[in-house]
């Protein structure tokens, strides 16, 4: 059965645009009865988004009876204009839960990999890309945060007996690309280039929305949210891919790392957990060929690429543009 790709905005033109946005701070509406403003940054940052996201993860993992799968999942497909024609399994009744639909694999031929040195790791919208200047990363235009607050202490530059020492090429520039995955997007992410992953750093944290409107509203949001930093090397030095969690993201999964557990009640915010892959993937680390699957989200989130490259490296995309896995992102 073909599922029509309908648009809420198209069918409800009388509604204002802001009424259709899925603001994660809507969960705070009951606080208005206590005299609190739900749009207050302080209130929003203290909201129990981790707990709510864990509950959402439980709900999306519940097995649905077969008779309910098609009507319930079709509502989600309709609301977020999900293109089920690209899914490896188009029959909605084959998905046992809403979580399985979020993490759906695609037909292998619908995401060809471009021959450029770097391709998009995910389907989504490019929020920002360009050079990193004065060790400041750009969240959105005009909103920045420090490199160290995002990656943590850069002790992987020093071996220290742990094998955390990707090469940093002097004279090369540092580049950044931020891609936002909306709820209707394909939620798996892939390797953007040929590289080796040497280290994983997991930051427990908040799970605030990473929609562009909220990202503009809260400075340093990516440094507050739970995230998993994969770092290593590509042909031109340091390379990292960071999966940033968000509200209702029940988990971040890395396929090669079975020990990783995200959004757990036992995790303490404000700390981080390191894991060296060189202990079992000597000598260079875990190979990640361009286009290979790396991991997956539940619902929407953000991917941040941070890497060294020669001066001749150039992006082949621009901020505000939608990209899909495998499309050209940059080349030498």
Residues recognised as catalytic: 123, 190, 301
> If residue 41 lies in a helix (H) or strand (E), which one and from where to where?
helix 41-45
**What is the DSSP secondary-structure string of 155-220?**
GGGS-TTTT------TT-EEEEEEEEEPTTS--EEE-SSSEEEEEEEEE--B----SHHHHHHSTT
Is the omega angle on the peptide bond into residue 107 within 30 degrees of 0, that is, cis? no
Residue 203 CA to residue 119 CA, distance in Å, equals 26
Convert 117-141 to b/e letters by CB count within 10 Å (16 or more is b): bbbbbbbbbbbbbeebeeeebbbbe
Residue 51 CA to residue 39 CA, distance in Å, equals 20
Decide: 180 and 211 in contact? Cβ < 8 Å. Answer: yes
Decide: 98 and 76 in contact? Cβ < 8 Å. Answer: yes
**What is the DSSP secondary-structure string of 246-304?**
-TT---EEETT-TT---S-TTPPTT--EEEEGGGTSTTT-EEE-TT-EEEEESS-EEEE
**φ, ψ (nearest 5 deg) of residue 214:** -75, -35
Decide: 121 and 197 in contact? Cβ < 8 Å. Answer: no
């Amino acid at each position: 059965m073909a599922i029509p790709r309908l648009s809420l905005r198209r069918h409800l033109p009388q509604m204002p645009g802001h009424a259709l946005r899925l603001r994660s701070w809507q969960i705070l509406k009951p606080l208005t009865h206590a005299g609190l403003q739900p749009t207050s940054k302080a209130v929003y940052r203290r909201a129990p988004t981790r707990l709510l996201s864990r509950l959402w993860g439980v709900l999306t993992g519940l097995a649905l009876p077969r008779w309910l799968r098609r009507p319930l999942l079709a509502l989600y497909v309709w609301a977020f204009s999900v293109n089920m024609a690209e899914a490896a399994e188009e029959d909605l009744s084959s998905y046992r839960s809403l979580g399985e639909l979020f993490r759906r694999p695609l037909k292998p031929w619908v995401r060809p990999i471009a021959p450029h040195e770097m391709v998009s790791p995910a389907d989504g919208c490019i929020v920002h890309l360009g050079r990193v200047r004065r060790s400041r990363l750009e969240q959105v235009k005009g909103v920045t945060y420090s490199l160290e607050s995002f990656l943590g202490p850069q002790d992987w530059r020093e071996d220290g007996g742990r094998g955390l020492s990707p090469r940093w090429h002097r004279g090369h520039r540092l580049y950044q690309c931020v891609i936002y995955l909306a709820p209707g997007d394909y939620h798996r992410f892939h390797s953007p280039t040929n590289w080796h992953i040497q280290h994983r750093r997991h930051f427990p944290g908040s799970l605030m929305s990473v929609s562009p409107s909220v990202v503009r509203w809260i400075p340093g949001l990516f440094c507050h949210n739970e995230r998993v930093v994969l770092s290593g090397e590509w042909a031109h030095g340091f390379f990292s891919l960071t999966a940033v969690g968000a509200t209702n993201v029940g988990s971040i999964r890395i396929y090669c790392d079975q020990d990783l557990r995200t959004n757990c009640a036992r995790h303490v915010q404000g700390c981080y957990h390191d894991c060296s892959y060189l202990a079992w993937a000597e000598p260079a680390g875990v190979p990640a060929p361009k286009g290979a699957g790396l991991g997956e989200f539940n619902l929407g989130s953000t991917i941040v690429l941070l890497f060294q490259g020669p001066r001749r490296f150039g992006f082949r995309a621009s901020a505000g543009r939608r990209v899909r896995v495998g499309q050209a992102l940059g080349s030498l």
